[in-house]
Structure formats: C-alpha cells, structure tokens
Structure 1
C-alpha cells in the first residue's frame, strides 16, 4: 500500500503539478514556521530548569496589603534565610543573595588589569543550592571565607591569563567609592544560556553585611530588597508549606499584619513573573502561548489549502475511486489511502521545512535575541515528527472522508453533484483562512502604531544625546572634581551623578515606603548630585531644583506631581516628609515603562553621588565628544577604559519583548497571507478549469473578458468579505486586550480595521484576478474542443 501511495503521489504530481507545488509550498512554509516557534518555545520552557534541585528549589516572596490591594514582590529582609532554616524543619537549606541588576557593573583589578563585570553577593551555600558548574573549588567552601571571590572562567582568563592561575590570587573590586580586596577561591564555568540570571563573579554576603553594617539579628519588621531561596526536604508538600509560612510574620510583630510570605518555584520566575493583587497573572508565558497559537493557526491555514484543493479536484479522481470500490475496496481502505497520501506529502514538506528553518535561523535568532540551533536531539526529533504526522492527518482528514464517500454507480453515470454541506464546508474553510489573515493584519497595524507611540511619547525628560557610565578608580573617589572636568570638555552640555540608575527596567517590588498621616505609601527614591534635574531636562512645576547656593539642600528633596496628588498636598513647598523638606515639585516623568502608571518619586540630594555619571552631549557632536571623553577617562583613571551606554538604548530595553512581537507579527501576517493567497489562487485555477466549456460558450455568445473575470471572482470575493466581517470584531477584542497591558496607549481608530480589511480584499482580488484574467483570455475554440 505504501508503494502504491508513492506511485499515486507521483502520478498526481504529473497530472496536477500546480496543486502539488501549492500544497508543498504551503505545508513546508507552515511547518517551517511551526518548527521555528517550537525551537523558541522549547528554549523558553527550559529556563532555570537545569538546576539539580529544581523540583525542590523555591524563591520566598511576599504579599503586602496596600491601599490599592496586594502588591507582590520578591524582596525580603537580609537575614530571613538564616531564620527560616532555624525555624522551619521542612527546609533543607536556604541562601540569601542580592537581586539581579541590583548593582551597576563593578570594576575589578587583578595583576594591573582593569575589567568591568556584573557581580552579586551571596551566602555560603549559594553554589550548593544552585547548579552553576564549579571548575575550580568546592561548592561548600568557596564562599566560606568573608574575603572570598568566585570568578567566571571568562573573567579569570581576562585578569590572569588562565583560569587555574587565578586561584589564590588577590582581586580588588570597586563600586563607586566602595572597594575591597578579595582572594579568588573558585572558578565557575559558563552560565547556561537558558539561565534567567547572568553574572561574572560572586562575593560573600558576610562581606556585604560588614559593608552595610548590618546587625547580627533579624529585624522582622524590615522589608528588604534581598532574594531568599530555599530547598525543601524530599517529600515536603509545597502547598502545605505555603500555608505554614504564610502567617509566619504575624507571630513576630504586630506591625506585620499586612504582610504574607509564600514560595514560588524558582524555575517559574522567568515565565510566571507577573502578579496582580497577589495572584499570579502572567508574564513571558503569555508570549509563549501567543506564538504557539499563531504557529498552530498558520499550520491550520496550510492544511486548509490542502483540503480545499484536494476536494476541488474531486471530479478528476472520481473514476479512480469508482473503479477501486467496484473492485472491492472498502471505504476504510480508501480513507487510509488518502490519509497516507497526505501524510507522505507532509513529510516531504517537513524535509523542506527543516532546510528552510536552517537557512532562516540566524535571522530568527537576531529577532528573538536567542542562540537557537537545529540539533538532532531526540526530544526535538520526536516533536517535529509528531507535528508533521498530526499535520498530515489533519490535512488529509476531510478529503479522505469526502472522496471515499463517492458511490460507484453515481460516479460512472457522471451525475456526481456536490452536496450543499460539502460546498459550505469548502467555503467555510476559505472564510476561516482569511479571517485569520485579517486578524494578523490588524494586529500588525496596532502593534506598529503602539510602538510608534512609545517612541514619540513625551517622557517628561530628554533621553536624546545622553550617555551614562559607572565610575571607578579616581573618578569614584573624587566625584565632584571629576564631574567638573567633564563639564569643561567641548561638546558636553551638562553632567551629573547618581546612585543607582534613572530608568527602571523590568517589574519592581514594593519600594521604600513614605509614612504620611498614618498611611504608608510606596515611593521610588533616587539619590542625585547637583545638576541632575537639569542634565535630564526635567521640568519643574513648583519650587526650585537643588542649588549649591543653599547648604541645607542635603536634607531636602524634590518630589513629583504624582506624590503631591497621592498625599493630597495643596501647597507642598516647605512641607516636611520623613524629616526631609520639600523644595521643589517636578512635573511627572516616565521613569518606568508605559506599561505602568507614573508612581510617586523623590529626588534626594547626595552631593557626592557619582556611582553612575550621566552626560548630556551637544547634538551632532556626540562621536567627537565621546572620543575626547574616553581619552580623558583613561588618563584620569590610570588606564581604565570607558564603558558607556546611551540613555535612549536603556529606555528601548524596556520594550524588547514588544519590539519582538512587532517584528514577528509582521512575518507571521505575511506568511498567513501568502499561504491563504496560494490556496485562493489554486481554487480559482480549478474553478476556471471546471467551468472551461461554460467560459467558451459565454465568449462565443459575446461575453466580454470583464464579465468572465467578474463571474470567476464574484463568489470568492463574497467569501473574503464575510471573513473580513468576522475578523474585525475578533481582532478588536484581541488588540484591546494587548493594549490593556499599557497604562498609556493609542486609541483604537476605525481605519486600523478598515485598512486591514481593504488590504486583505486587495490581496484576494489580485490573487483571483490573475487567474480570472488568464481564463478570460483563453481561445473559445480550445475550450469547446472535445477531448
């Protein structure tokens, strides 16, 4: 039977080459899209699951009841890990660590080499709990010494030539005006690409406690920014443990009635990182679901092409079916034959799809920010074969049951007439195809317009021609002298410094709280030097900026409009908030992404703040000014190199996921339209061939070419119009849901939907018209000639 099916595929290819190529192109394109998305989804789902303790590894989180409901964050007090191990027998081990991106880049000095890297502080059991591969050192001992440092292979090689040369050597790290000398106790290998956290070295948390002068005992009322991770004993039920830990803070102090602890699987934080009112409400998993659904729909569109073209040419295969039934073939055997035929076609398309994915994978990686490879892993091979098998069965299902239902007597009499149900099924499939295509077009238009809005939105500060960098060496020790020298450079408009950074990227937890008339209000704080407000171009609504003319400014603050409104202050200038005097009110500015509402914000004057330096450059002079700045920085800091970034690039980083959605949606929409158009083109061709003699008679009787074109395109145009009518309300609901994730968004205008419908209709007309014109120009003699 297999050889017979192969023979029939070959014969059908010779009889219907156009249909064969349309099906092959459609199925291979759809499969290529599905395979590429599968690679991406497989990578996303694998994040953080490589740790040996994955099933027992959890992050401790906290729900805090505020005026607006429950705020969820991962920040906990510094000594919570130690306290939990002592009080909770269910916990095998626990570790505290500074959060990712908690610090700017450190500067490390070893053997007179200066290297910048991302670092973190972590407790002794860090490398025991997490499966970061140690190539030098013992996981239980590398962080035992307070002055120990564990380097990555890359960093150790850069500093000492070879990783093994680094063990026992001293390294000095510096962060702003903080510095310390450490001894290299271990080397860890490359962190897997599917790790949500990437860093270059680890310092001991004991050293951090000394630097920050933390006490030896836990303060249960403290709500710190630190991450606490635990490993439960085998057999411990996480749900029961969650119930036990939830009320832990209630027993420690009466002031903790609004705080509840809970645990989240560590490997869930990457995909399920968003919480609303204390309940997990999405995250990156939404994009996994979205792109999986889109790939499935594109594959379904390709399957519909196969169904429609297979049933459209039914009249050309009915004698074959009649003969087989007369010779004793059962309907079951015919169904199996047609399913095998469609499956073989799909596996042929799978081969082409794999080749296509291999070709486009570099571009796909660039769009998605991944490093995906098409490797022959058993899991992926089984997945790809399974997708191809399901596609083949789906594509061949309707044709198989439809064609196998022909009765021999009816076939040989030539009186076969398609049923109304069959006709409407084919029409419904076409409508479904173009409904999806129109939805994709609307999504592309709306996403593109929202991203344009994000780019052009007045943020309340000037991000153009602004660079920033972390200081080290002499510049960190003499911040004001360093800033004064920078301001003298040609092309520098202004410069200032800050602790931390201005733009907030990614979800934030509950920050420091401002107490006001019995209320606790979360507020974002930023310690800044003089001229920061002016450097960023932030406008003042009332009062003044920080000034060197007022010596008391070190105890005074500038607040934003939102904080004034939240507190209900009528005349905020001169008011005291937490012992700090308000000297100015800044107009609201968007330091978070447009997904979030502008939150209360406070600028605090720190006259020596220069951990991060911000420099405003004159327009059109940035390259030359940066070159001079690099030379100056190297001379000022004893050979160190300047590693700078543009503020605009940091702002764009907040919308990396949205930009990927925008680019991928364009590709997906193009594929959907291409495959749908191929199917429409094939259907029009078969319609024209089926009505060949009718066209010839009409032309002999004087019908114009326009009337023939209208005849062939009328019915299919109606189907596309129905598809547009169905797609528009569905697309409205989808894009409305997506836009709801932005606090500041575009208004949905009518032309987005009308334009998408007209574009789909134009594509359909061009597709159908090309075949209709060809049929209308055929010689009537050729149409009426008897075979």
Structure 2
C-alpha cells in the first residue's frame, strides 16, 4: 500500500513540475536554514564539552559594591588561595591559581612566534584534562619548565622532538619543554591556552605579584577549582562567600562576596548586572532557535498554500476514489505520502545547501562547525525532523482535500464554502507577521550598531597603530625608539602606554582628594602613559594641558577624563592633588594637570569609565602607539616600522594592530547578529512570498469564470488586478498591525541590555509596513495580471 501511495505521489510531482519545484524549493530553503541554526545551537550548547568533569569545575568569582552598585567578575586576591587551602581543602580536588591569558614571544633557534597562554599552578594539567602526547603530565613540576600545545610545538620545532629542548619566553629566560599536549578544541574556554608556564616562575619574575601574597585589595588574579565528587557547588559557594570580608576588615566596606561560577555557565550565562546573573549568549540561542522554528513553519505554510491552491484540480480525483470505495483515512495517507516524498527531496536539497554554505556561515558566525556525517544521533534527529515536517506541512492539505463530497465534486456543484479560505488567509497573516517582525528587528539591530559607531570616540583611530613590546629589552629605550620611528618618515607621532587604547587592563582605588565625600568608594581605570600620549591619539584636552618635557614635576602628574571630573565632583580640577591612602608607604600625591575628553576604551554601548592617565615614570608601558604618515601607503609605513623595530629588537616578534580594526571588533557580536538576522529576514520574506504566490494562484483559479464575466462586461486588466490584490493587501496590513506591537516589545527588551542605545523611531515601523505592502503587490501582481490577461472566452468555456 505504501509503495502504491509513493508511486502516485511521484506521478503527481512529475505531472505538476513547476508547482513541485516551488514546493520542494521552498521547503528545502526553510529546512536548510533550520539545519544551519540547529548546528549553530548544538555548537553553542556543547561549549566546554571537552571536559568530562565540567559539572565539578568552576571559577572563583567576586562581587563588590561601590557606592550602591555591585560589580561582579573573576578577579580575586592572591591571599584567597591560602585561605581556601587551609580551611576548605576537603571540598576541592584541584585548586589552581592562574594569570590572565596573555601573549608571549616564544623563540627557538631562529624561529620566533607570539602565542597566548597562562601561568598556572602545578595541578592545571589535571584540572584541564590535558591529553599529553609527549613528555609528562606533571609538566609544571620544575620552575623552569613549559608545556606547549601540539600546534605551537610544531611551529617552533617542526619535526624535531621538543621534549627537553629550551625555549626562550619573552626573549629572556630559557624554559625547558616538559610536555606537548593536544590542542584544546575551538569551542572551548581554554582554546587559546597554547602554552602553560609554572605559577612559581610567574611570581619569581613579577615582584608586584610576589608582594601581593597578603594583599586582599590586589584583585589581579584568577582561580580555577574542581570540587571533590561528593561536593555540591552551591553549598561550597555558601561556605566561602564571606571569607574575604571575615579575614580582611579593610575590604569589608565593599561587601565582597565570593562564589563558585560553574564551567557549564561560563559561556552561555556569563553576564552579571548589579550583582545578579542576567544571562548572556543563551539569549541568542533562544533567539535563533525561535527564528529557526518560525522559518520552518513559514516553509510548511508555503507548502500548505500551494497544495490547497491545486485543490480544484485534485477534487475530481478525490471524488472518483471515494465513489469506488476509498476511505477518508486512505486518502489522508495518500496525501501525507505525497508530503513525505516532497519533504524527503527537500531534505536532500537542504543538506546540499548546508554543505555549500557551511564555510561562509562559519566565517560569518565565527565558528568551526563541521557537518556531523558520522554521528548517528544526527541522522536519528533528521529522520524525526523529516517525519515531523511532513506531518506539519501535509496535515492541513490532507484533511482538507480528503473532506470533499464525491457527489458534489462529480456533479460539478462542488463549492468550498464561505469560510473555506479563512485558514489559508490566517496562515498568510501569520507568515507576514513573522516577516514584518523580522524586518523591524533587523533594522533596529543595524540602528543600534550604527548608533554606537557614530558615538564620539575621544580620539582619532585612523592611521593609528599599536605595536606590542612585551620584553625587558624595551626598558629605557622609549626616547630612542621615538626618535628612530619619527626620523624614519613612516611615523608622525608616537607615545607609549601600559594598556591598549581599546581596552582597560588595570583599575585602582584607595585615593583621596579635596572634597571627597565620607564613605565614597572610588574605582578608577588606571593607565600609565608617556609624553605625547594625548597628541599621538589626537585626544582633545578640555582643561589644563598635556604632559610636557618642560615640567619636571609632570613625573607626578595625572590627566583625568571628563567622567572622572564629574565622578570626583571637581569644578576646577587642574592643580588639585590625588593622594593614595593605601599601604604603609602610599608614595607622593599625584597632581592633576589636565582634563581630556572621554575616550571609549571598553564597550561602545556602555558609559565611559572614570579614568586616570598617569605619567609612566617606572617604564612600565609596553605598548607603542604610532600615528602613521598619511602621505604614504599603510603597507609602506608598516614595512618601515617593522625594519626599525627589528633593528633594535631582533629577538622580538613584530606584532601590530590597527586601532580602527581593534575598535571595529567591539561591534563584532552585534554585527554578526545583524547580518544573520538580515539573511534570515530575506529568507523569511522569500518563503512568505512563495506562500502568497500560492494563495494568489488558488484565488485566481477559483475565480476564473468570475474574471471572464467581468472582462466581458468591460473590466480592464487594472480592474481585475485591483480586485485580486486588495484582499491580500488587507491581509498584509493586518499582519503589520499585529507585528508592530510584538516587535516593539521584543526589541525594546533587547535594547535594555545596552546603556547607550538607540531610540526606536516611528519611521522604522512605517518602513516595515511600506516594504511589506510593496513586496506583497509585486508578488500578487504577477499572478493577478496573468489571470487578467487570459482570454474571457477561454475562461467561460465549459467542457
């Protein structure tokens, strides 16, 4: 019986090639989008699945309150390690202190490369479940050892055995390669941990880190833990919550609270607002999941409309089958078989579309997703997916077509009924409601990105390049390098800084100033800079002056930004002193010499943080900020800069970043969402138009004789076009009025995630309405004009 159903279904598909192509193509497009979104969601949800014990691994987080606002993050003080080991060691299987992931120059022989990694304690390989390919798992036992990822080992040593060989790090000390481990997969928090150096070595070369052993106020470290098998994450979090407050009264005013943040939530739920967890990328998972469901639904609606549009031609077939004994259930099975065959073909085409578009999709989504050929679970889900889609797409046509009465059909008196077209109209309204909502959402996402991009940056990013010199070789050479670069003709201005222009690496508190309110809890972004910093960045000085070589006292000078001026409540800040109240020897006070315009160094969607730009009197600045010569090409300038750099630092790998590209990267996540939303919107509109095309075809087919009569009575092509179009315009207008409040509610909620956000203007909604109506008229016009041009005699002729 099934074979017979499929044979009939195949004949019907071949008989109506154009409709079959539209049916299969529309479904294939919808299924391809759903497959891509499904693969993306699986990749997001499987982040950190590399770790078998991920449910027991956590990072220690800390919440602190400044002036009524709570900030949460993974920065913790070093004394916490001893407190946890001494009082709570029975809760932890592994406890690992770590530096932040940082770039280092690694050199072996003549090969010098820059790679990212961490300084970590001895238990790190066990906690990270590293798959050691060569050497020993306990590779951090010796202070002068280093563990390398497989790709880094190959880049340094080629085919040589790396174990026991000496690698220079930062072009200083030699470290002995103790182990080579398998590269950690891309969709993993530690995928950029390409080397691991012992924590003890980190302390030995950084005096400030050694001195922080008992400093509860120095929150410059991170800690990873793995709980013992019988420990509960929430219970352990409760135990350690007040350690810092109990052991150090100096920090109690900030109400510090510690907790364990589970690995399974790092990636998808890593956002905190005022001390509360407020989600993260999981919102995009839900968003794209909903989009995928809707696009598949649109494709199924398209199939329904095109199938019912052919109902007049299938009615006699149904009448004959019923008259010779076919039961309604058999007819339903037949039509569902046709649906199944269409969906199978569509799925095959969808897989081809996914394979062809996967590379571009990965580039757009910044993923490394592969097609899961070898995973049985994928094929099981695909089979369920095919049957589900067949049922959804084919159920309404099957029930509708099988309901025809054979007597009415064969006598030629069959009429669909007054409300027979209502379900199809509802489906079209649903299609365009989704499409219009997609249009509005896409426009608002783009508006938000453009709004942030148009925000004043506080400096000129064009022609600005940052060169890293993370090596002690740079110490004492700033003036020399500035002269060399300036005399090369490639650079017109230069400065140095301790933090990147587009990021904040350090924060400080513990300051007092004239007029500071009692109990005020300050928190400043801290950047050490050289002379010419403001000039090299083209920063605007709104009060006072820049650092100058003419004033020896500027070695204790400080520039503040406009936000800091308001934050400190200083009307005339120039000349005021900023004193440190931290430690036994707080050092000399800093004198405010100028106020600079706010510079965006963090998220362009958030308010600028109060910042201090302090003169770099200890030569800590390791980033050169170069403004290139605009009279020459960028490539020529970079080539000259590299030559000068290598003349003085032959052992340091030359690494540079264009600031405009670094700043542009801040919009990457939103731009990816915007581009993907734009693509999905276009596909949703295309699929909706196919459904509208089907309904227009159905109406034109049903009203063939009416159109013929109207033409005989003198109706023009325009009159017929207007008659057929107005109903669809009404449907789309209804869709617009439904979509507008829904999209406003959803997008308003999305915009609340940004402190610096666009205001939704009325014209966005008007644009969506006009666009939807224009698309509708273009789609309907093809069939309407085609029907209007049919010879009236041919339309009125009966068999």
Q: Shorter-chain TM-score: what band?
A: over 0.9
Alpha-carbon distance in structure 2 between the residues aligned to 1:486 and 1:671: 52
Name the SS of the counterpart of 2:268 in structure 1. Answer: coil
**Deviation for aligned residue 1:729:** 2.3
Distance 1:752 1:86, change over 3 A: same
**Deviation for aligned residue 1:758:** 1.0
Deviations 1:361-404 (A, max 9, x none): 12112211222221312232233333332222211222233334
| 1:183 aligned residue | 176
**Deviation for aligned residue 1:703:** 1.4
Alpha-carbon distance in structure 2 between the residues aligned to 1:420 and 1:583: 82
Distance 1:548 1:356, change over 3 A: same
| 1:488 aligned residue | 487
1:254 to 232, 240, 249: 249
Distance 1:184 1:646, change over 3 A: same
Name the SS of the counterpart of 2:421 in structure 1. Answer: helix
**Deviation for aligned residue 1:653:** 1.1
Distance 1:79 1:419, change over 3 A: farther
| 2:626 aligned residue | 615
| 2:467 aligned residue | 469
| 2:86 aligned residue | 86
Deviations 1:184-232 (A, max 9, x none): 2111222211112313211111111222334589537335132211111
**Deviation for aligned residue 1:95:** 0.5
| 2:381 aligned residue | 383
Q: Is structure 2 residue 135 aligned with structure 1 residue 137?
A: yes
Q: Is structure 2 residue 576 aligned with structure 1 residue 582?
A: no
Deviations 1:643-690 (A, max 9, x none): 211001111111111111121122111101111111111221222122
- Check whether the contact 2:435–2:685 (CA below 8 A) recurs between aligned residues: yes
Distance 1:786 1:409, change over 3 A: closer
| More divergent stretch after superposition (78-87 vs 479-488) | 78-87
| 1:343 aligned residue | 340
Alpha-carbon distance in structure 2 between the residues aligned to 1:231 and 1:347: 47
Alpha-carbon distance in structure 1 between the residues aligned to 2:61 and 2:651: 43
1:320-469 matched pairs, under 5 angstroms: 320-326=317-323, 329-376=326-373, 377-419=375-417, 422-469=420-467
**Deviation for aligned residue 1:5:** 2.3
1:760 to 768, 772, 775: 772
Distance 1:221 1:633, change over 3 A: closer
Q: Is structure 2 residue 720 aligned with structure 1 residue 708?
A: yes
Distance 1:238 1:467, change over 3 A: same
| More divergent stretch after superposition (651-660 vs 622-631) | 622-631
- Check whether the contact 1:497–1:610 (CA below 8 A) recurs between aligned residues: yes
Q: Which runs of 5+ in 2 are unaligned?
A: 581-588
**Deviation for aligned residue 1:743:** 2.5
Which TM-score applies when normalising by structure 1? 0.94
- Check whether the contact 2:61–2:72 (CA below 8 A) recurs between aligned residues: yes
| 1:524 aligned residue | 525
2:164 to 144, 168, 191: 168
1:543-558 matched pairs, under 5 angstroms: 543-558=544-559
Alpha-carbon distance in structure 2 between the residues aligned to 1:225 and 1:648: 28
1:209 to 203, 224, 230: 203
1:606 to 601, 610, 616: 616
Alpha-carbon distance in structure 1 between the residues aligned to 2:106 and 2:50: 29
| 1:498 aligned residue | 497
Alpha-carbon distance in structure 2 between the residues aligned to 1:68 and 1:412: 80
Name the SS of the counterpart of 2:303 in structure 1. Answer: helix
Distance 1:399 1:537, change over 3 A: same
Deviations 1:34-53 (A, max 9, x none): 11111111111111121132
Deviations 1:728-762 (A, max 9, x none): 22222233233333332333222222112111111
Deviations 1:105-132 (A, max 9, x none): 3222222432222232111111110023
Alpha-carbon distance in structure 1 between the residues aligned to 2:34 and 2:133: 38
2:666 to 654, 659, 672: 654
Deviations 1:392-432 (A, max 9, x none): 22112222333344444554454444355543221111011
Q: Is structure 2 residue 667 aligned with structure 1 residue 634?
A: no
Name the SS of the counterpart of 1:365 in structure 2. Answer: helix
- Check whether the contact 1:467–1:645 (CA below 8 A) recurs between aligned residues: yes
Alpha-carbon distance in structure 2 between the residues aligned to 1:539 and 1:120: 37
| 1:591 aligned residue | 601
- Check whether the contact 1:81–1:229 (CA below 8 A) recurs between aligned residues: no
- Check whether the contact 2:424–2:695 (CA below 8 A) recurs between aligned residues: no
Distance 1:171 1:641, change over 3 A: closer
| 2:298 aligned residue | 301
- Check whether the contact 1:573–1:584 (CA below 8 A) recurs between aligned residues: yes
**Deviation for aligned residue 1:778:** 1.1
Distance 1:337 1:252, change over 3 A: farther
Alpha-carbon distance in structure 2 between the residues aligned to 1:533 and 1:681: 61
| 1:121 aligned residue | 119
**Deviation for aligned residue 1:722:** 1.1
Q: Which runs of 5+ in 1 are unaligned?
A: none
Deviations 1:119-174 (A, max 9, x none): 321111111100232212222x211111211122232233333352x222222222
- Check whether the contact 2:496–2:622 (CA below 8 A) recurs between aligned residues: yes
| More divergent stretch after superposition (763-772 vs 735-744) | 735-744
| 1:36 aligned residue | 36
Alpha-carbon distance in structure 1 between the residues aligned to 2:129 and 2:175: 23
| 2:586 aligned residue | none
Distance 1:293 1:511, change over 3 A: farther
Name the SS of the counterpart of 1:525 in structure 2. Answer: strand
**Deviation for aligned residue 1:446:** 2.3
| 1:11 aligned residue | 11
Q: Is structure 2 residue 721 aligned with structure 1 residue 721?
A: no
| 2:584 aligned residue | none
Name the SS of the counterpart of 2:96 in structure 1. Answer: strand
| More divergent stretch after superposition (706-715 vs 83-92) | 83-92
Distance 1:63 1:332, change over 3 A: farther
| 2:572 aligned residue | 571
Aligned length: 777
Query: What is the CA RMSD across the aligned residues, in angstroms?
Result: 2.3
Alpha-carbon distance in structure 2 between the residues aligned to 1:746 and 1:128: 47
Q: Is structure 2 residue 46 aligned with structure 1 residue 53?
A: no
**Deviation for aligned residue 1:514:** 4.5
Deviations 1:243-278 (A, max 9, x none): 222233343233444011111111321111111122
Alpha-carbon distance in structure 2 between the residues aligned to 1:248 and 1:331: 73
Which TM-score applies when normalising by structure 2? 0.92
Alpha-carbon distance in structure 1 between the residues aligned to 2:446 and 2:468: 34
- Check whether the contact 2:166–2:174 (CA below 8 A) recurs between aligned residues: yes
| 1:672 aligned residue | 684
Alpha-carbon distance in structure 2 between the residues aligned to 1:510 and 1:390: 55
- Check whether the contact 1:75–1:223 (CA below 8 A) recurs between aligned residues: no
Alpha-carbon distance in structure 2 between the residues aligned to 1:446 and 1:613: 38
